[in-house]
Structure 1
Amino acid sequence: MRDVEVLPGARIRWVELPGTSPARLYLHGLGCSSAPHFTEAATHPLLFGRRTLLMDLLGFGISDRPTSFGYTLDEHADVLATALRSIGLSAVEVVAHSMSGAVAVSLATRHPSLVGRLALVDSNLDPLTPRPAPGSAGIATYTESEFVHGVGWERTLRRAGPRWAATMRLAGREALYRTALDLVKTTARAQLLRLTLPRMYLHPTGFAPADVAGLEAAGVRVVEVPDCGHNIMIDNVDGFASALVTAW
Structure 2
Amino acid sequence: MKDVVVGPDEARMRYVDLPGHEPARVFLHGLGSSSPAYFARIAADPGLGAHRSLLLDFLGFGMSDRPACFGYGLRDHALSVARALDALGVRHADIVAHSMGGSIAIILASERPDLVRRLVVAEPNLVPTRRPRLEGHTEQTFVAEGFARALAAVGPHWAATMRLADPLALYRSERSLGEVNDPMMKDLLRALNVPCTYIKGSLTGVTAHERAVQSAGIPVIEVADAGHNMMLDSPAGFLRALRSALA
Give the alignment's TM-score, normalised by structure 1. Answer: 0.92
Q: Aligned pairs, how many?
A: 241
**Which residue is equivalent to 2:84?**
83
**Which residue is equivalent to 1:30?**
31
Residue identity matched to 1:144: E
**Which residue is equivalent to 1:194?**
191
Instruction: Pick which of 139-148 and 100-109 moved more.
Output: 139-148
Instruction: Pick which of 165-174 and 44-53 moved more.
Output: 44-53
**Which residue is equivalent to 1:3?**
3
1:173 lines up with 2:171 in the alignment:
no
Within the candidate set 235, 240, 246, 2:238 is matched to 240
Q: Distance in 1 between matches of 2:215 and 2:130?
A: 27
Matched-pair contact (CA < 8 Å) for 2:151–2:159: yes
Deviation at residue 229 of structure 1 after TM alignment:
1.4
Residue identity matched to 2:137: Y
Deviation at residue 219 of structure 1 after TM alignment:
3.9
Instruction: Pick which of 204-213 and 163-172 moved more.
Output: 204-213
Q: SS of the counterpart of 1:146?
A: helix
Instruction: Pick which of 172-181 and 210-219 moved more.
Output: 210-219
The runs of 5 or more residues in structure 2 that have no matched partner are: none
Residue identity matched to 2:97: A
Write out per-residue CA displacement over residues 186-213 of structure 1, whole angstroms, 9 at most, x where no aligned residue.
1333322221310011001142343757
Q: Distance in 1 between matches of 2:69 and 2:39?
A: 29
Q: Distance in 2 between matches of 1:70 and 1:157?
A: 22
Q: SS of the counterpart of 1:220?
A: coil
Deviation at residue 47 of structure 1 after TM alignment:
1.4
Structure with greater helix percent: 2
Q: Distance in 2 between matches of 1:246 and 1:240?
A: 10
Q: Distance in 2 between matches of 1:233 and 1:156?
A: 23
Matched-pair contact (CA < 8 Å) for 2:202–2:225: yes
Matched-pair contact (CA < 8 Å) for 1:24–1:52: yes
The runs of 5 or more residues in structure 1 that have no matched partner are: 132-137
Deviation at residue 75 of structure 1 after TM alignment:
0.6
Deviation at residue 13 of structure 1 after TM alignment:
0.7
Matched-pair contact (CA < 8 Å) for 2:113–2:193: no
Deviation at residue 139 of structure 1 after TM alignment:
2.9
The 5 A counterparts of 1:75-224 are 75-131=76-132, 138-149=133-144, 151-187=145-181, 188-206=185-203, 207-210=205-208, 215-216=213-214, 218-224=216-222
Write out per-residue CA displacement over residues 117-146 of structure 1, whole angstroms, 9 at most, x where no aligned residue.
111111111111233xxxxxx235421111
Matched-pair contact (CA < 8 Å) for 1:199–1:219: no
Matched-pair contact (CA < 8 Å) for 2:127–2:209: no
Deviation at residue 20 of structure 1 after TM alignment:
1.1
Deviation at residue 161 of structure 1 after TM alignment:
2.4
Write out per-residue CA displacement over residues 137-195 of structure 1, whole angstroms, 9 at most, x where no aligned residue.
x235421111012x201110011122211111111111111000001111333322221
Instruction: Pick which of 52-61 and 213-222 moved more.
Output: 213-222
Deviation at residue 214 of structure 1 after TM alignment:
6.0
Matched-pair contact (CA < 8 Å) for 2:126–2:209: no
Instruction: Pick which of 237-246 and 21-30 moved more.
Output: 237-246
1:196/1:183 CA distance change after superposition, 3 Å: same
Matched-pair contact (CA < 8 Å) for 1:41–1:234: no
Q: SS of the counterpart of 2:157?
A: helix
Q: Distance in 2 between matches of 1:83 and 1:61?
A: 16
1:186/1:196 CA distance change after superposition, 3 Å: same
Deviation at residue 247 of structure 1 after TM alignment:
2.7
Within the candidate set 224, 227, 230, 1:229 is matched to 227
Matched-pair contact (CA < 8 Å) for 1:193–1:215: no
